[in-house]
Structure 1
């Protein structure tokens, strides 16, 4: 079973976003007038995972690049725990006034089906899709396995002993390793962490054998020679990882990606959402934003609110079916 990639919509939706941005001052003046004095104080952008992971990197890139396009700072707040449920719940329980928004992740379409959360993507108003990245299997640079075949063969000799770190129980990276187990007849010992960053630190410290987080999240450590990626769960090889094979090249039919984007509680006034969308349009065109994305090898996949909603609906169905097939329940 494979997951369709959100990147297929990136060029079309990015073009439409940039075209919207070209409307310029008239649009900006109109939406700001309708929203009154919003924003009159800092906006909190909640990241439901720890510092150092892909979601945190994306949020901070967006916050920094948005400075010249919003009158108040967008402050990144990390609220990790329960595979993202704590941070997302904090946003949903806040007043829907635009002053507390979330960096939504694909876990919104996984956690409801494993019994971790009672809410879903339908409880958020999508603002914009910002990113999509595939999972990868990464080990320490001095690990004895140099191919995914060697890694899986070694894991099969000691069923349930190879510790594979992820960004939380029921997270997309936990599901990625579970799907790999299913496809290859391997049994891992999944180890949850409050984000990809802590999982990578555990790997470098020798506490686990591998991580199943995205290739983008391990880029800095792979580049510095501390880690090595054995395979990516993508339809084709990734930029910056041209020498790393996909699982499909190794006859493992598996492709799983994560996406991230901005969202607000669903009752947020349309005029406030319009201001936030206007900020996004300008921010994604900033060279500094694109430079950070490129440096981190993060997938550039934009979508407006309609396209973002369509991705969430699609993946909700996909992961519901996958979780049912794997009998993957936590709560």
Structure 2
């Protein structure tokens, strides 16, 4: 996976749900049940992502996967649950840029530096969406309204430390506009704010929007990608609409630092096999996800590069 800085990369109740009843754990994996923790609220993009992983990866690794939603503090509560948990391969974190952003912009009890990537799987395109009957047809319509009526346009994003919130900071600077950015505990909650009319615009991933798109409730008007994304209609990119902003959100699995090497090796082998599974591939391609599998060593190097780019972005826009 290639990173291009922030422009190119671009929640504490727990809800646990068993994903599949897999065969007994294989002899080379130390535990039978693995918890996958997310900062996203149920129905959010990472919640959907982890459930699908558990469904397909469980039989491959011989493990029962359980998803837990630990919301609050921009991902800090979920990070603490992972780092303070057992170091035996039984608890992991669904990672996105959020936990890095939260670490850099606040003072959480646990930061990304006490964690380590295990594997990365995808780049997840960011999209801009509105209600199906919204008068906004293009990004230009939103910009024009925001320029004519400053602070009148409300944009719904997920957590305060999410990449979609950072995308909005950059978009406002790029367009010299002032909008209200409404944050939530996760992507599922953010979509509700658009559906109930609290916000006129939302920024999200395709997986979070798929159900509402198919129900005819929302439509995507732009993607922050280099090229148009198949499977969502003929939606022009932000660049095609005159706004030079390309963002892709990495999705992967992270854990506490210094997990046993055999645990890391089992994940690397299991996920490498998963990415070749035809049914799983059909799912992620339909969701607009881009295969960006990385081993731990590769993901660690990419993370460190991202941190440098992210800090430069914060400095450029005076975000602290």
TM-score by length of 1: 0.85
Give distance in 2, aligned partners of 1:116 and 1:222: 37
By how many angstroms is 1:226 displaced? 0.9
Contact 2:70–2:78 at 8 Å: present in 1 too? yes
- Which residue number in structure 2 is paired with residue 239 of structure 1? 230
- Which residue number in structure 1 is paired with residue 174 of structure 2? 183
Distance 1:306 1:267, change over 3 A: closer
By how many angstroms is 1:116 displaced? 5.0
Give distance in 1, aligned partners of 2:262 and 2:112: 21
Superposition RMSD in Å: 2.0
More helix by share: 1
Distance 1:80 1:2, change over 3 A: closer
- Which residue number in structure 1 is paired with residue 102 of structure 2? 111
Which gives a bigger RCO, structure 1 or 2 (Cα 8 Å, sep 6+)? 1
Give distance in 1, aligned partners of 2:295 and 2:312: 26
- What are the equivalent positions in structure 2 for 1:1-331 lying under 5 Å apart? 3-4=7-8, 38-39=30-31, 41-117=32-108, 119-241=110-232, 243-329=234-320
Q: Which runs of 5+ in 1 are unaligned?
A: 7-31
Aligned residues: 301
Q: Which runs of 5+ in 2 are unaligned?
A: 11-25
Contact 1:3–1:318 at 8 Å: present in 2 too? no
Q: Deviations over 1:288-325 (max 9, x none)?
A: 32232133222322111122122211211111111122
By how many angstroms is 1:119 displaced? 4.3
Contact 1:102–1:262 at 8 Å: present in 2 too? yes
- Which residue number in structure 1 is paired with residue 18 of structure 2? none
TM-score by length of 2: 0.87
Q: Which runs of 4+ in 1 moved over 4 A?
A: none
By how many angstroms is 1:244 displaced? 1.4
**Paired residue secondary structure (1:135):** strand
Give distance in 1, aligned partners of 2:226 and 2:111: 28
By how many angstroms is 1:118 displaced? 5.5
Contact 2:114–2:257 at 8 Å: present in 1 too? yes
By how many angstroms is 1:175 displaced? 0.4
By how many angstroms is 1:95 displaced? 1.9
Contact 1:219–1:297 at 8 Å: present in 2 too? no
Distance 1:256 1:117, change over 3 A: farther
**Paired residue secondary structure (2:199):** coil
Give distance in 2, aligned partners of 1:5 and 1:182: 17
